[in-house]
Amino acid sequence: MFCTGNYLGRIRLGTDNKPTVDPIKTFDTFRCFTDGKRLIGQKDNVNIFIYNINTGKNDIMENPIKVSAGRPVVIYEDYALAGGVGSLVLYYFEGTKWIRLGESNDGNSFLKILQKYAPSDQIKNLQSLDGGNLMMKGTKVSIVSKNITYFVENIDQIVKQCLADNPLK
């Protein structure tokens, strides 16, 4: 499974044993990332969306944001990050919709979550965290902010702690 600026596709072996690309869904030009189950993307200068590959529909999102150029969106199972220059927010899929964790009007809500639940010397004194260059594999995410790479592990455990202190309504 892969995504480009134009479509979501799957690579398989054709009858001649050569790789064949099967487009699954066509999109307009946008930034995207997929975990093979969902696709998170942004089209033009509008809010992000999360497309569920199994249902063929967009998931419901609470407080979607606009992101910037680069690689500003990542997703894995029930966790998604989206950002831009000076902003980075975390979304969690609670079963029926994607919920934005942290303060809904705070573009640096993910940084504040990290400072509380995964404090480190590198993170604790930051004022902002750029989210324009993200990469995610499983529950691990790399964030390149102001030419420094921050590696965060166990997003699932961070979300679990955050939700224990701030239960969903």
Q: Would you give the distance in Å from CA 82 to the centre of its chain?
A: 5
Pairing type for strands 49-52 and 57-58 reads antiparallel
Residue 3 lies in a domain: no
User: What Rg do the C-alpha atoms of the chain give, in angstroms?
Assistant: 16
Provide the pLDDT for residue 67. 82
**For residue 85, what are the domain limits?**
29-165
User: 6 phi and psi, to 5 degrees?
Assistant: -115, -30
Estimate the share of the chain in helix, then strand, then coil, as percent rounded to the nearest 5.
Answer: 15, 45, 45
Residue 114 lies in a domain: yes
Provide the pLDDT for residue 100. 93
Domain containing residue 160: CATH number:
2.40.128
Residue 134 lies in a domain: yes
Residue 5 lies in a domain: no
Provide the pLDDT for residue 162. 95
Contact between residue 31 and residue 23 where contact means Cβ atoms under 8 Å apart: no
DSSP letters along 115-146, please?
Answer: HHHS--HHHHT-S----SBEEEETTEEEEEET
Residue 49 lies in a domain: yes
Cα(94)–Cα(135) distance, integer angstroms: 22
Mean pLDDT by 10 residues, the chain (169 residues): 87 92 83 92 82 94 84 93 89 94 84 93 89 93 93 96 90
Provide the pLDDT for residue 107. 78
Residue 12 lies in a domain: no
What's the total number of domains in the chain?
Answer: 1
